[in-house]
Amino acid sequence: LEFKDTDPENKEALYKIADTVIKKAIEEGIDKDELEAAFNRWEFNKRQEENAFKGYSNGCLALCSWLYEGDPAEAFCHDTVFPAIRKRINDGSGYFEKLLKEIFYECGHKASVVLIPSKTMMKELDDAEEERARKVSEAWTPAQRRKVLDDMAELQRFQDTDDSDIADKCMPKLKISDIETNRKPILPVEDTFCGRPILRHLHPTNGLTYTHLYFEVSDFNEDEFFMLQLLQVLFSKQNTSRHSAAEIQHILKRDTGAFSKNIHVKTLYGSPAVYRFRNFLIIRLGALEAKQKEAYDILSEILTLSDYSDIQKIKLTIKRQIAHLENKIKNESGYMAMLRAHSMLCQVGCATETREGIEALMRYRRLQTEMETEEGCRKTVNTLQAMAKRVFCRARLQAGITGNVDEKELESLFMSLPEGDKPGPTYNWPVREKVNEGIEIPSQVGYAETVGRFDGSFPYDASTRIAERIINEELWNEIRIKGGAYGAGLYIRYEGRVWFESYRDPKPEKSLDVYKKCSNALRNVNQEDLEAYILTAYGNSFTLETPHGNSYKYEDLWTCGFPLDNEERVRKAILGTTLERLNEIADMLDKVLGNSVSVVIGGPKQINACKGKLDKITKVF
């Protein structure tokens, strides 16, 4: 048990509370519904094992039994362990109550630890270490002191000396020719279901299912798109005609393993000269195979029966969104600056800025003021109720399906939605005026973004990933090492967007100048270095994916109109990168930077230093 964010004097009272709660659970029994909910989520997470260190963690699990002459696969035998535990929830044996009693009251191995923060402890430790080192050094003879200095000098010399050719040749090195190029991924299959397009993923999922619903909203104008974001935040947190909001959350916890919702702005595959995009409200649901019916039932209820008329909840959500975006401007300033700059270059940037950028903050503030009146409240409720009916219909739906999904249950989910109307023509977003803008916030550092676009004359391919790697090393040296920023980077995207960024930057005005000259790093690469960059880019581009991760990857390609076998194009482009290609990318970057726009978010000192490079200064707070 762990108690956080309390005072030391509350220790005994907290121990007493814990004791009371545990004894009550033992004597009266643990709520079976809560126990099943916790177990379902635990089983889902164990089967999914979706983390960045999956290989390492699985290796450690295997060693737990293998080191003691057991079966290394024991920790992964889910199909025998989980049913046995689940059986004990409802068999009347009181297994979990007995387990609590054994752990907390019958086991003799118990300890209590209290961690108390200290403002002086680190200084006290540093002072003690300094005093210890002083006493040791004062006890040295002249010969000992001289030896310590000589040893330090020799270590420095050794570290600064390149390895010998012999030592270098002894190190195994991966070569491009070592890469296996005939790897065939398991591609998903495009299909239709209940008259709607779906993408079926064929990889095994270890007893899990994933259902991703994409409702197209490309025809929404900027006012509707902003309200759609509010609808998305409120989604699944409202009363329905069958359950309260609290009950809905409990059922989601009990019957699903993963549940999320978001709005994505997706740029379509094709030439940057023709800038097309699609917007989706996406609902993602993950569940155990055995819980599909229950998971689909609650999702259907939320989609079709939610009531968005709770004015107090809407007001509280708006207040929280304002606080969230204000914190985001302070804590994720680089991302917010990037959104602001992109909104001056393309429609996708405008849509994203309206959804989660500074423009969204301004709109939430205006909506908060409007809802101070009865008319404003009524208007907002009516808009949300009508929008839910407009969005959640089969005519706007396409879906990604992963795992052994029950077709009858999936059909019930699809057919529970009204037919509705198809999306109208894609809305033509007005692009914001192109100005170099400074946004002043309470901060000691800045975030510098420079954004531009290449046109259809530049043939994009994945070789730009190598260019990003090379230039990011240059930015690291110039902006991180010399300039003192926490980081910097370059990003090049297929639809034509190019942007440079610095993070927690004390000198953003100098970073803006560095961006303009960094393309030369591409022209200075030799063939040997290029091969090393190719290997790095290749390794970063083809990592081991979980089934869920593969679903995300291919659905992103699918909804953007990419060929599903795009991975082969990426592979060929990276492995085929030449010095001449790097020069082409360098020329493209020079052209883009000649017609770019910059946004700097930072404190008064940083904004003032950039004044000569800015056309406009905005204060958000």
pLDDT higher than 70, residue 274: no
Q: Count of CB atoms within 10 A of residue 375's CB?
A: 9
Helix pair angle (407-415, 292-305), 10° resolution: 10
For residue 183, what pLDDT band results from cuts at 50, 70 and 90? confident
Higher pLDDT, 105 or 170: 105
d(CA 599, CA 339): 9
DSSP secondary structure letters along 13-60: HHHHHHHHHHHHHHHH---HHHHHHHHHHHHHHHHH--STTHHHHHHH
pLDDT computed for residue 547 by the predictor: 83
pLDDT by residue (tens digit) across 352-401? Answer: 999 999 999 999 999 999 999 999 999 999 999 999 999 999 999 999 99
Which is nearest to 600 in space by CA: 338, 352, 289, 405? 338
For residue 590, what pLDDT band results from cuts at 50, 70 and 90? very high
| Angle, CA 449 vertex, CA 444 and CA 454 arms, to 5° | 175
pLDDT higher than 70, residue 462: yes
DSSP 478: I
d(CA 601, CA 13): 47
User: Is residue 452 helix, strand or coil?
Assistant: strand
Lowest-pLDDT choice from 161-170, 242-251, 312-321: 161-170
pLDDT by residue (tens digit) across 281-337? Answer: 999 999 999 999 999 999 999 999 999 999 999 999 999 999 999 999 988 998 999
pLDDT higher than 80, residue 163: no
DSSP 602: E
pTM of the model: 0.86
d(CA 207, CA 44): 9
For residue 275, what pLDDT band results from cuts at 50, 70 and 90? low
Over range 523-549, report the average pLDDT: 89
pLDDT computed for residue 60 by the predictor: 87
pLDDT higher than 80, residue 620: yes
pLDDT by residue (tens digit) across 466-490? Answer: 999 999 999 999 999 999 999 999 9
pLDDT higher than 90, residue 578: yes
Dihedral sign from CA coordinates of 20, 26, 28, 29:
positive
Beta strand 208-216 pairing with 397-402: antiparallel
Q: Which residues contact 226 (CB under 8 A, 6 or more apart)?
A: 354, 355, 360, 363
How is residue 94 written in tokens? 């009181």
Which is nearest to 23 in space by CA: 80, 95, 105, 92? 105
pLDDT by residue (tens digit) across 432-441? Answer: 899 999 999 9
Q: Which residues contact 358 (CB under 8 A, 6 or more apart)?
A: 325, 329, 336, 339, 340, 439, 618, 620
| Angle, CA 368 vertex, CA 365 and CA 374 arms, to 5° | 155
Higher pLDDT, 166 or 66: 66
Name the H helices within 161-221.
Answer: 165-170
